[in-house]
């Protein structure tokens, strides 16, 4: 592994475990000293993390850990629920098309296999696979604008959604619910697919919110207004 990747992996781990708090500044020179490296690999690693929406850059202030206001969190999930329910329903109607069938078959093969052998520990890297699952359903639905909107929302909430992959039991629930959604789509059951998606996203939202509030209490001594 090259030095930039090593620094990137370390910083990412610190961020997703909230060892660097939301909103905390990340001065390259300070991080370089802590890690015993020059500022160049730190800056490159921070640029990668910015592309993943885990940190933000402000001119003259530099990089800091991304924050999401509680109001923004609730509103983004509100929009996500509407978009994903519509995508699941539309996907059920399009699942019998040649392109739709190929995508759905691939989804079923991937997630059914994972459901049979879920991980026993946290797997925060799976947030990207989970995003791909939801975005694939939008592709099955055949609406590229819906897909683009969903991808944009996923990028904005990634830093908080990672919390959902800290606990093995949540992973097992996620896998099971993914399979239920796919099965409803395969049956052509639009209402069932939409309902399964609503249940899935609603459960994820509550789990993330509970864990974030606990983390905020630990970090700040009170929930405040930022997430």
CATH of the domain at 157: 1.20.120.530
Question: pTM of the full predicted structure?
Answer: 0.80
> pLDDT higher for 209 or 31?
31
Task: Identify the three-state secondary structure at position 67.
Answer: coil
Last residue of a domain, one of 46, 65, 84: 65
Residues 6+ apart with CB under 8 A from 29: 39
Query: Which pLDDT does position 207 carry in this prediction?
Result: 86
Least confident of 79-83, 122-126, 188-192: 122-126
> Which among 116, 35, 24 is positioned nearest to 62, based on CA atoms?
24
The pLDDT of residue 213 is 73
Same domain, 75 and 150: yes
Are 127 and 209 members of one domain?
yes
Residue with tokens 């296999």: 113
User: What mean pLDDT value characterizes the chain?
Assistant: 88
How buried is residue 75: exposed, middle or buried, by Cβ count under 10 Å (0-12/13-18/19+)?
Answer: exposed
**35 located within any domain:** yes
User: What's the domain range around 156?
Assistant: 70-220
Within a domain: residue 109? yes
Which residues have a Cβ under 8 Å from the Cβ of 100 and sit 6 or more positions away?
A: 91, 94, 140, 142
39, 223, 76, 43: which is closest to 150 by C-alpha?
76
pLDDT band at 27 (very low <50, low <70, confident <90, very high): very high
| C-alpha count within 13 angstroms, C-beta hemisphere, residue 159 | 26
Q: Are residues 18 and 55 in the same domain?
A: yes
pLDDT score for 216: 62
Beta-bridge mates of residue 110:
none
Question: What's the gap between Cα 22 and its chain centre?
Answer: 16
Decide if 216 contacts 222 (C-beta within 8 A).
yes
Name the domain count of the chain.
2
Percentage, residues of the chain above pLDDT 90 = 59
Q: Is-contact 165 173, C-beta < 8 A?
A: no
Phi-psi region of 142 (alpha: psi -120 to 50; beta: other; left: phi over 0): left
Same domain, 122 and 136: yes
* CA gap 193, 87 in Å, rounded: 9
Q: CA–CA separation, 70 vs 152, rounded Å?
A: 18
Write out pLDDT tens, residues 132-186. Answer: 999 999 999 999 999 999 999 988 888 888 877 877 888 888 999 999 999 999 9
Picking from 10-19, 32-41, 90-99, 193-202, which range would have the lowest pLDDT averaged per residue? 10-19
Residues 177 and 123 in one domain: yes
Looking at mean pLDDT, say which of 79-83, 123-127, 128-132, 214-218 comes out highest. 79-83
Predicted confidence at residue 122, as pLDDT, reads: 67
pLDDT (0 to 100) of residue 227: 46
Residue 177 and residue 179: Cα distance in Å, rounded? 5
Which token pair is 5?
């990747």
Boundary of a domain, candidates 41, 65, 89 = 65
- Which of 35-44, 45-54, 157-166, 207-216 is the least confident region? 207-216
- The answer on pLDDT for 223 being more than 50 is no
């Amino acid at each position: 592994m090259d030095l930039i990747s090593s620094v990137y992996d370390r910083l990412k781990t610190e961020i997703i475990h909230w060892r660097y708090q939301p909103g905390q500044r990340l001065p390259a020179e300070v991080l370089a000293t802590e890690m015993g490296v020059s500022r160049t690999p730190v800056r490159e690693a921070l640029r990668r993390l910015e592309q993943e929406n885990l940190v933000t850059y402000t001119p003259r202030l530099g990089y800091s850990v991304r924050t999401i206001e509680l109001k923004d969190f609730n509103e983004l999930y509100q929009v996500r629920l509407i978009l994903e329910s519509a995508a699941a329903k539309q996907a059920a109607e399009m699942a019998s098309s040649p392109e739709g069938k190929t995508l759905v078959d691939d989804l079923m093969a991937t997630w059914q296999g994972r459901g049979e052998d879920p991980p026993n520990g946290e797997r925060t890297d799976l947030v990207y696979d989970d995003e791909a699952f939801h975005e694939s359903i939008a592709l099955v639905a055949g609406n590229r604008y819906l897909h683009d909107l969903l991808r944009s929302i996923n990028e904005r909430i990634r830093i908080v959604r990672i919390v959902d992959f800290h606990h093995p039991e949540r992973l097992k629930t996620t896998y099971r619910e993914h399979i239920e959604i796919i099965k409803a789509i395969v049956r052509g059951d639009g209402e069932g697919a939409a309902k399964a998606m609503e249940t899935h996203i609603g459960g994820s939202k509550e789990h993330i919110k509970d864990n974030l509030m606990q983390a905020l209490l630990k970090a700040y001594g009170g929930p405040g207004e930022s997430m």
